[in-house]
Amino acid sequence: MSEPVAEIEVEIQNEEGLHLRPAVQFVDVASRFRSAITVSHGSVQADAKSVMEMTLLAAACGSRLKIRAVGPDASDAVAALGELVAKNFPPTSKPAEAKKEG
Amino acid sequence: MKLSDIVCFSAIVPELEAKDRNGAIRELVGLLHQSGCLGRNDPEKLIRAIIQRENEASTGMGKGVALPHIKADGITEPVAAVGRSSHGIDFRSLDKQPVYTVLLLVSPKDNPDKHLQAMEILFRNLNQDDFRRFLRQAQTVEEIAEVIRDAS
C-alpha cells in the first residue's frame, strides 16, 4: 500500500524571504508531522525539517516553492505549512520568557 | 563577498565568559563596539534590540549554532562577531540543544541586499559539517581566525 502524498505550491511574500527566523518557524511546524516533507525552489530541494537545508533554498520574496509531503499526515502537513506561508509567518504565540535580563 | 569580509577579526571570542544567551549577545556587541565596527551606534540599544528579536523568534538554528542579527543605521557594511562557548549556551534552539558557536551579525539598515548576502554567506558555511566542527574545536583567536579565512 502506498503512502499518502500531498503537494502544494506557495509564494513567499514576506519582505526578507524565507530567511532565518521564517525558516526556523517553517521547520518548527514541519517537525510536528510524521510525514517526510521536502520543499523545492527551482532545482534546489531541502528537507523541511532541517533549518540548515531550508536556509539554502535562498527563497527571496516572490519565490515560488513546492511543498511535498509523503506519509500518514501528508495533507495536514501541507495545509499547515501552506497556511504559515500564506499568513506571512505570523509571530509565534509562545510567551517570551526572558524578561529577567536585558 | 566571503566570510572573512564580514567577520570583524578583533571581535572573536574563543571562550565566551557569558553562560547565558543575553550575556553572550552583550559580550559580542560590546566587542564589536570596542573594535570600532559599529560606527556611532549605541551598543546598549543594539543589545536590547537583538534580545527583543531573539525573544520573538530564536535564531538558534540547531546543530549548536545561533545567528542573532540586527540592522543598524550608520554602518555601510555587514559586520559579524564570533563567539565560542565550550559549556554551551541555551538559545532556545529549535532542536533544544545548547549553542557552542554564536555568530552575531549587524547589517546596514539601508542596504537589505547586503544583509541578505551576508546571511547567505553565513548559511552556506554553516551548512558544512566541517566548518561547524572546526569552529567548535578551535580554541584560540588565531585558530578561529584561520577557520574563517579558509571559509568561502
Banded pLDDT at B138 (limits 50, 70, 90): very high
Banded pLDDT at A16 (limits 50, 70, 90): confident
Closest B-chain CA to A61 = B116
Asked if residue A95 has pLDDT above 70, the reply is no
Asked if residue A41 has pLDDT above 60, the reply is yes
Cβ A81 vs Cβ A33: under 8 Å: no
Asked if residue A102 has pLDDT above 50, the reply is no
- Global pTM reads 0.88
Q: For B54-74, what is each residue's pLDDT tens digit?
A: 998 899 999 999 999 999 999
Q: Is A1 on the interface with B (CB under 8 A)?
A: no
Instruction: From B7, B28, B35, select the one nearest B152 (Cα to Cα).
Output: B7
pLDDT of residue A61: 86
Average pLDDT, chain B: 95
Asked if residue A19 has pLDDT above 90, the reply is no
Asked if residue A21 has pLDDT above 70, the reply is yes
Asked if residue B137 has pLDDT above 50, the reply is yes
Closest A-chain CA to B45 = A102
Asked if residue B104 has pLDDT above 80, the reply is yes
Surface of A (34-53) touching B: CB under 8 A: 50-53
pLDDT of residue B90: 97
Q: Mutate which of A20, A31, A56, A61 to test chain B, going by most B C-beta atoms within 10 A?
A: A20
Angle subtended at Cα A26 by Cα A60 and Cα B7, rounded to the nearest 5 degrees = 60
Q: Which residue has better confidence, A63 or A91?
A: A63
Residue B140, number of CB atoms within 10 A of its CB? 11
Look up the domain containing B15 and give its range.
3-150
Angle subtended at Cα B20 by Cα A96 and Cα B50, rounded to the nearest 5 degrees = 55
Q: Mutate which of B26, B53, B58, B65 to test chain A, going by most A C-beta atoms within 10 A?
A: B58
Residues of chain A with C-beta less than 8 angstroms from the C-beta of B43? none
Ranges of each domain in chain A: 5-86
Residues of chain A with C-beta less than 8 angstroms from the C-beta of B126? 52, 55
User: Of the residues A14, A17, A19, A71, which is catalytic?
Assistant: A19
CATH of domain A5-86: 3.30.1340.10
pLDDT of residue B112: 85
Asked if residue A96 has pLDDT above 80, the reply is no
Q: What is the CATH number of the domain that holds B92?
A: 3.40.930.10
Most confident of A14-18, A78-82, B94-98, B114-118: A78-82
Domains: count for chain B: 1
